[in-house]
Amino acid sequence: MNKKIRLGILGGGGDSLIGVLHRVASSMFDRYEIIGGVFNPNYDENLSFAKKLGLKESRIYKDFETMVDQESKLNSDERIEVVSVLTPNFLHYPMAKKLLENNFHVICEKPLTTTYKEALDLKKIQSEKKLVFAVTYTYTGYPMVRQMTKMIADGVIGKLHKVDAQYLQGWLNPVIHEKEKRNSTWRLNPEKSGISCCVGDIGTHAFNMVELVTGMKVKSVLADLNTLYADNPMDVDANILIQFSTNMKGTIRSSQIATGEENNLRISVYGEKGGLKWEQENPNYLYHLKDDAPLQVLKSGHGYNNEISLDGTKLPPGHPEGIFDSMGNIYKGVARAIRQESFASEEFPSIEDGVRGMDFIEKTVESNSKGNVWVELNK
């Protein structure tokens, strides 16, 4: 039996939601052991947090460079095997690049980088090194998203002709209307966040979900972005038309100023024989629509679901599963890849998904800046 995979973590210390999410997810299937890392740029806070986790002080490092240097000197059966990068966007590329160059597998938060060029560079290194690289588009791990993906691939709703995706949040509403507040969040700082806030942070989730469940690549986009205030350089609201390589078209709407919204990610896909709808805030339900039959509701955990959906289900029917479970399923897929076990491509978003996401972000910004025109994505 394989030993647990030795996991290092960069960022995600203190009360970070994303940090808790990754740590819980990594523990779900007993495949990983957190060894150490750099949880906070302040070394004293870094050590204090690591002690709460019960980690050895010798594996907690003052900075990222020291961690890579020291871990690389250890024997192969002792050193960290995979590193989760949970830092702000601008640190993803330099950290992931150095990790790959030093033969560490990588699990990286999205967006993959701050530019498409950087993303392509990472993909090149990953391909040469033949290392596992996952990008945590978290919601792809939900069992009923996997069920939806398989049903569409199996032709249950026939030839596709429309998709509608939305991701609405309201968390920026209390921040955006006061200049001092909007200037103080790193999400609205291009130097740390990249060229996009809303599309880069959540619109890319919807884009990835669209390409995953349809099994198709978006060919071109036409975007209308809103910064709300002239002195705000970053988009906080986006309406995007998408066109596929066939006659199929669709929409992606994302907003972080949708007052009162929490985490409203929804996707609807329509074909000649029916439609499928799923929403993140009620993730155990997949709605199957037909012209000539009543609405059918599929629920997670039942034997009628596809094998990959059932593999990602940890509780009996009727017991809600949530975002921790979704991220846990992604970590499980990564573990299978690292240990060279059999795994399906849908089990975790790959570096290719991260590259596609960066291309989408840049092309939506380009479309908007050119006066809302169609712009083609790279193939």
Q: What is the pLDDT of residues 211-242, one digit of tens each?
A: 999 999 999 999 999 999 999 999 999 999 99
We find that the CATH architecture of domain 143-316+351-369 is 2-Layer Sandwich (3.30)
CA distances from 180 to 170, 184, 231 (A): 18, 6, 11
- For residue 354, pLDDT over 50 is answered with yes
For the residues 202-207, what does the mean pLDDT come to?
A: 97
For the residues 4-24, what does the mean pLDDT come to?
A: 94
- Residues 112-161 have pLDDT tens digits of 999 999 999 999 999 999 999 999 999 999 999 999 999 999 999 999 99
- For residue 17, pLDDT over 90 is answered with no
Establish how many alpha carbons lie within 13 A of residue 346's alpha carbon, considering only the half-sphere containing its beta carbon.
26
Domain range summary for the chain, segments of one domain joined by +: 5-138, 143-316+351-369
How many angstroms separate the CA atoms of 330 and 26, rounded?
Answer: 9
How many angstroms separate the CA atoms of 122 and 97, rounded?
Answer: 6
- Residues 85-97 have pLDDT tens digits of 999 999 999 999 9
Q: Which class would CATH give 5-138?
A: alpha beta
Q: What per-residue confidence (pLDDT) applies to 313?
A: 83
How many angstroms separate the CA atoms of 197 and 238, rounded?
Answer: 10
- Residues 296-314 have pLDDT tens digits of 999 999 999 999 999 988 7
Both structure tokens of 346: 């849908």
Q: What per-residue confidence (pLDDT) applies to 2?
A: 59
- For residue 379, pLDDT over 90 is answered with no
**pTM above the 0.85 mark?**
yes
Both structure tokens of 58: 């010798």
Q: What per-residue confidence (pLDDT) applies to 1?
A: 45
